Amino acid sequence: EVQLVESGGGLVQPGRSLRLSCAASGFTFDNYAMHWVRQVPGKGLEWVSGISWNSGSIGYADSVKGRFTISRDNAKNLLYLQLNSLRVEDMALYYCAKGSHDYGGHFDSWGQGTQVTVSS
């Protein structure tokens, strides 16, 4: 059974940094692309970033480009999202999602999310 467990969320002041992690199990991690998707409570889903199986292809939403960095450690089955220069508008529930293919595909499994709160 695929399991994705996010961690690292919390309360942070504007301008500060946070690092989110996603621990994956139940599948061969280095065979699949991985993504981060966020959701403000009561609002819609927003794709944040994605990374191919070998980190050869990476993409970011315009809203986070230059501030967030996605990475993965295939030896440890971990996905990361480094959040720098955080803004109030980055406050959301951040989901880790598994891609259905090594490069892209759809999001076929999701974690439960980790909450990021940005406030002074």
Partner 1 sequence: NFLLAQPHSVSESPGKTVTISCTRSSGSIASSYVQWYQQRPGSSPTIVIYDDNQRPSGVPDRFSGSIDSSSNSASLTISGLRTDDEADYYCQSFDDTSYRRVFGGGTKLTVL
| Footprint on this chain of partner 1 (rule: CB under 8 A) | 35, 37, 44-47, 50, 52, 57-62, 95, 100, 104-108, 110-113
**Cα–Cα distance for residue pair 15/117, rounded to 1 Å:** 12
Burial of 4 (0-12, 13-18, 19+ CB in 10 A): buried
Q: How far is the CB of 60 from partner 1 (least distance, A)?
A: 8
Nearer to partner 1 by Cβ, of 28 and 57: the residue is 57
Nearer to partner 1 by Cβ, of 106 and 119: the residue is 106
**Cα–Cα distance for residue pair 62/6, rounded to 1 Å:** 23
**Cα–Cα distance for residue pair 13/10, rounded to 1 Å:** 10
Q: How far is the CB of 5 from partner 1 (least distance, A)?
A: 12
Nearer to partner 1 by Cβ, of 48 and 118: the residue is 48
